[in-house]
Structure 1
Amino acid sequence: MTSTPPPDDLDRRLVIATQAGLPLVPRPYDLLAEQLGVSADEVKRRLAAMLDSGRIRRIGAVPNHYAIGYTANGMSVWDVDDARIAELGEAIGRLDFVTHCYERPRALPDWPYNLFAMVHGHDRATVLAHIEEIAALLGPACRQHDVLFSSAILKKTGLRIGAES
């Protein structure tokens, strides 16, 4: 991380203006700049500084997988050898059908799983076939696994800063 000045009113207004997503226009930074009364270069510089400092984690597209036909969603959970979890988690995370993969602590004795990988598909059979591919990749480093299919669509949002805060 690079050294950056503390956040100021413009940083705060920029976060508020972008926390629900970038404007869906051909030149979103120009529109933000106009709304905030600064240049598009300043908007880009401020966002880059906030990324570098860790004040914001990412700027990226978040597709609605339901709208593009991926309606079967399975969180696969794995009991993986702790000594190999970093290596195997990276390998799983690189698979094109895994949207996110992360390590979590076990909650023994009821929850033995320490590796989670989200798999989306057009149907459950596709998701289950992908999960079998993951199982083959993990091999004997995996003691057991399960898959939890989504039963409802939940609106996912991060922390929101109110305009009046």
Structure 2
Amino acid sequence: MSISDTDRQIIAAMQEGLPLVPRPFEAIASQTGLTEETLLHRIAELKARGVIRRIAAAPNHYKLGMTANGMTVWDVDDARIAGLGAQIGALPYVTHCYERPRALPGWPFNLFAMVHGATRDEVEAKRGEIAAILGAACRGHDILYSTRILKKTGLRLKQKG
């Protein structure tokens, strides 16, 4: 898949994050010599082609006071995982929720939900709320706590040489 020089310039301008101004796309448009309308149209085309998957915030949870972060893992009935996963993913304290294949016999978990809290007790309480939602459809669960924050960046374009 190839991209034009203009689209490469747009991606390069956005890959370090959007500017913290009232109209970030207007600022990027100005930087790339485009109108805001043209920029937004090109971004939509890049998304439609799968060049860009999403534009999203990647907060540093530690700096927000959320220092007890746990990936909750669940062994959920396959027939019910889609509906229950959607419910779990919609909870305000879950930032990532997805289904993954089990790796039997040692890893029976197929639903993953990242839960954030200020303390482990808070995360444990939220895990209890998730367990109540999953009910009898859940055959087992665990939690893996973060021990450090990893660098959060997306794919970066190489500069054309």
Superposition TM-score tier, normalisation by shorter sequence: over 0.9
TM-score, length basis structure 1 = 0.91
Structure 1 stretches of 4+ with a deviation exceeding 3 A read: none
Contact 1:16 1:162 in 2 (8 A): no
Tell which deviates more after alignment, 51-60 or 14-23.
Answer: 51-60
Contact 2:18 2:24 in 1 (8 A): yes
- Residue 114 of structure 2 corresponds to residue 106 of structure 1: no
Question: Aligned to 2:98, what secondary structure does the other structure show?
Answer: strand
Residue matched to 1:156: 152
Q: Structure 2 regions of 5+ residues with no counterpart? A: none
Contact 1:73 1:121 in 2 (8 A): yes
Residue matched to 2:8: 12
Residue matched to 2:88: 92
Q: How many residues align?
A: 160
**Correspondence list, 1:1-165, <5 A:** 7-164=3-160
Q: Partner amino acid for 1:72?
A: A
Per the TM alignment, residue 148 of structure 1 is displaced from its structure 2 partner at its CA by 0.4
Q: Partner amino acid for 1:11?
A: D
Contact 2:73 2:113 in 1 (8 A): yes
Alpha-carbon deviations, 1:6-54, whole Å to 9, x = none?
Answer: 6311111111111121122222222222221222221111112222332
Q: Structure 1 regions of 5+ residues with no counterpart? A: 1-5
TM-score, length basis structure 2 = 0.93
Tell which deviates more after alignment, 74-83 or 7-16.
Answer: 7-16
Q: Distance in 1 between matches of 2:19 and 2:160?
A: 21
Contact 2:58 2:152 in 1 (8 A): no
Contact 1:77 1:114 in 2 (8 A): yes
Q: Partner amino acid for 1:149?
A: Y
RMSD: 1.4
The share of aligned pairs that are identical, in percent, is 59
